[in-house]
Structure 1
Amino acid sequence: MVYRHYAPATKVAVVRMANQSYSRDDIRRALGEQFSNQSFRRWNYLYTLTQRVIQDPARYKQRGAIGQILADKRDFILELVQTEPGLFLDEIQERLYDESGTLLSVPAIHRNLVTKMEITLKKANTVNIRKSLRAKYAWVEKMMNVPVEYLVFTDEFGCCSRDLLRTFSAQNRAAKLIDSSWIRIPKVKAKHFEHFIKYRLLPWMNCYPVVNLILVMDNARNIHHKLNPIELCFSQIKSYLCRSQLLA
């Protein structure tokens, strides 16, 4: 249903002429307004009940979700964000409803935070509690003179997309697509990762100062090992490399 705005004077004239027994078509021609039959019945019904053509705005019904936050609830959200900046929008929605009984949609909360309260979302910088800045800068100093083509990186990937599953790509004839001497994108599962390192990656690398010399493996730990099963193999491979000193 489309709600159209009519001037108060038009509503008064329509109801007055209707009480004078004018037909709807005569009223439309006289006023030059093409109001609907539903609007005509609603105006006359309101006049019959309240002796008014225009309803009191304080008695209007709320159409749709609440769009803005009042000042007291805005102060509550500001205090909430300052004390717990890591809250998600749905958590703010739940806290606001528990506090005041006001239910705002998640887009409305985000819109009020950004446009009305000028609060933007920041990406948190997580720090490993076992991180050693001394060891980090010592490693950076040691690696600063190593050319980038000497490095080979391995990491886990938790996404399976169509692009990663492709083994062939279209390219113009005689044109070089990927230089296999510096980049390769094999995909192996966790249980096959040790075999891949030992029999595919290490034989492809070099043991003297040229390209593909140093293997850099991911050492980030997840909250639970089952969420990142490839890390189970990383620790075994790293300990084996340390003992055998294959890449020393």
Structure 2
Amino acid sequence: MVYRKYEPSFKYAVVRAALEGRSLDDINVMHGSSVSPDSLNRWSNLYEQTRSVVCDPATYFTKGRPLLLNDEERAFIVDLVTKKPTIYMSEIKDSLAANLNIHISLATIWNELHH
């Protein structure tokens, strides 16, 4: 399957034509395009739900595993490493537990330091 990027104005024109009762073949001839039935269905469904033919990234669901540390906790780790560049990860782990009541693995700390 080949994905093509279409401008929002083009998507809107295609959906509007479909809502006016034109067939996909007629729409493709009219616009000199080759929009697939799947694309038209996707755009039409999105238009029916949101009155827009493009998705708003602000409404996307977060994908993947949630982050284990928030910005404050990351800043705490950065501060520890900045103050003592030779700090051991076990010391970071102990400081997180003592100061922020956070209990994470050494692997998580390593991942945060190398992210």
Q: TM-score range by the shorter chain?
A: 0.5 to 0.7
Identity of aligned residues (%): 40
The one-letter code matched in structure 2 to 1:34 is S
Alignment of 1:46-65 (within 5 A): 46-63=46-63
Aligned equivalent of 1:91, options 108, 112, 115: 108
The one-letter code matched in structure 1 to 2:43 is W
Q: Is the 8 A contact 1:15 1:44 kept in 2?
A: yes
Higher helix residue share: 2
Alignment of 1:160-171 (within 5 A): none
Q: Is the 8 A contact 1:81 1:87 kept in 2?
A: no
SS at match of 1:40: helix
Aligned residues: 96
* Structure having the higher Rg: 1
Gap regions ≥5 residues in structure 2: 91-105
Alignment of 1:141-220 (within 5 A): none
Alpha-carbon distance, 1:29 to partner = 2.7
Where relative contact order (Cα < 8 A, 6+ residues apart) is larger, the structure is 2
Residues 10 and 76 of structure 1: CA distance in aligned 2, closer, same or farther (over 3 Å): farther
Which runs of 4 or more aligned residues in structure 1 lie more than 6 Å from their structure 2 counterparts after TM superposition?
A: none
Root mean square deviation of aligned Cα? 3.6
The one-letter code matched in structure 2 to 1:6 is Y
Alpha-carbon distance, 1:2 to partner = 6.7
CA distance in 2, matches of 1:10, 1:65: 35
The answer to which of 52-61 and 17-26 deviates more is 52-61
| TM-score, normalization by structure 1 | 0.31
| TM-score, normalization by structure 2 | 0.57
SS at match of 2:11: helix
Q: Which residue of 1 aligns with 2:15?
A: 15
CA distance in 2, matches of 1:70, 1:8: 35
Q: Which residue of 1 aligns with 2:41?
A: 41
